Amino acid sequence: MKKLAIIGAGSMAEALISGILEKDLIDKNNLWVTNHSNETRLANLREKYGIQSTYDLEELFEEADIILLAMKPKDAATAIQSIREHLKAHMLIVSVLAGVSISTIELLAKKPLAVVRSMPNTSAAVGKSATAVAINERVSLSQIETTKKLFGTVGLTSFVEEEQLDAVTGLSGSGPAYIYYLIEAMEKSAVEVGLDKQMASELIVQTLLGAAEMVKKSSKSSTQLRKEVTSPGGTTEAGIQILEQHGVQQAFISCIKAATAQSKKMGTALSTLLEVSEQPS
């Protein structure tokens, strides 16, 4: 891995920059970033991480062997079209764009390329992302290893078929927000039952960490673990009964299905728009 050029400078780009440098995967002098026009953001990243930035595309792509697409999905078409003349056959194109398919990237680039489509989540910022990755047939074995190392700097990496990525987006890509939503509810309830907010926050975080570690390390299913905590006539059972009355479990299932459907919708809309725009007039 000689040089990584990042297109887009948002929170996911920064999380990867931080992980890459922390794990010494690439020297900071070979880590380059650009965005559409926010020079202040680029200056902040240069100062914080000592990396390089430029709006000169010749300089950005010179000797780059990995290109990370990290702009907002809605800006993907414009951004990829603006850089496609600089994309070369030897480069590995890595996308973290929700809902943007490999075929869409290839259509925008107008040339055959090795493309990795990934779905990390915001926990990458603390090295705990659950990242799913799909590849096209042009990605070599060495590029697969590079991909593993790249996303290994920010958490767990799993390779999946591309058609599974919309479901991954709905589950783990958006997943941290569902957990934060749950934490919000627990924090509000803690205050209402008379607990100090700071102490409650610490208890909630430790409870979630402990439960996650139990699921990770135990051979028992989550259903088994829940039942073992739920004694007949006890406090946990009283709480679970209220959750069931309000259909909380089904609400989470519907939530993930809706996010999955939205990912598919976004991808289809962009693909259709591109097919129309590429038609000869």
pLDDT digits (tens, 9 = 90+) for 30-61: 999 999 999 999 999 999 999 999 999 999 99
Whether the predicted pLDDT of 73 surpasses 60: yes
- Residue 68 is classified by DSSP as E
pLDDT for position 273? 67
Which segments of the chain belong to CATH 1.10.3730.10?
173-258
Count Cα atoms within 13 angstroms, Cβ side, for 173.
25
Per-chain mean pLDDT for the chain: 93
Q: What is the pLDDT of residue 281?
A: 46
Quick one: pLDDT band at residue 167, thresholds 50, 70, 90? very high
User: Which residues are CB-neighbours of 122 under 8 A, at least 6 positions away?
Assistant: 11, 12, 15, 129, 176
| CATH architecture under which domain 4-165 falls | 3-Layer(aba) Sandwich (3.40)
Taking only the tens place, the pLDDT of each residue in 225-278 is: 999 999 999 999 999 999 999 999 999 999 999 999 998 888 887 777 666 555
| Beta carbons within 10 angstroms of residue 182's beta carbon | 14
Q: Cα-flanking dihedrals φ and ψ of residue 4, to 5°?
A: -110, 125
- The two three-digit tokens of residue 26, written as one number: 């690439």
What pLDDT is attached to residue 272? 72
Does the pLDDT value for residue 129 go beyond 60? Answer: yes
Read off the pLDDT of each residue in 72-93 and give the average, rounded to a whole number. 93
| Per CATH, domain 173-258 is 1.10.3730.10 | yes
- Predicted TM-score of the model (pTM): 0.86
| Angle (nearest 5°) at CA 72 between 107 and 251 | 105
List C-alpha distances in Å: 249 to 11, 170, 228, 252: 30, 16, 18, 5
- 74 pLDDT band, cuts 50/70/90, is confident
**pLDDT for res 269:** 78
Q: Could you give phi then psi for residue 135, rounded to 5 degrees?
A: -130, 160
* Statement: residue 157 has pLDDT above 90: yes
Task: Work out the pLDDT band at 11, boundaries 50, 70, 90.
Answer: very high
Domain with CATH 3.40.50.720 in the chain: 4-165
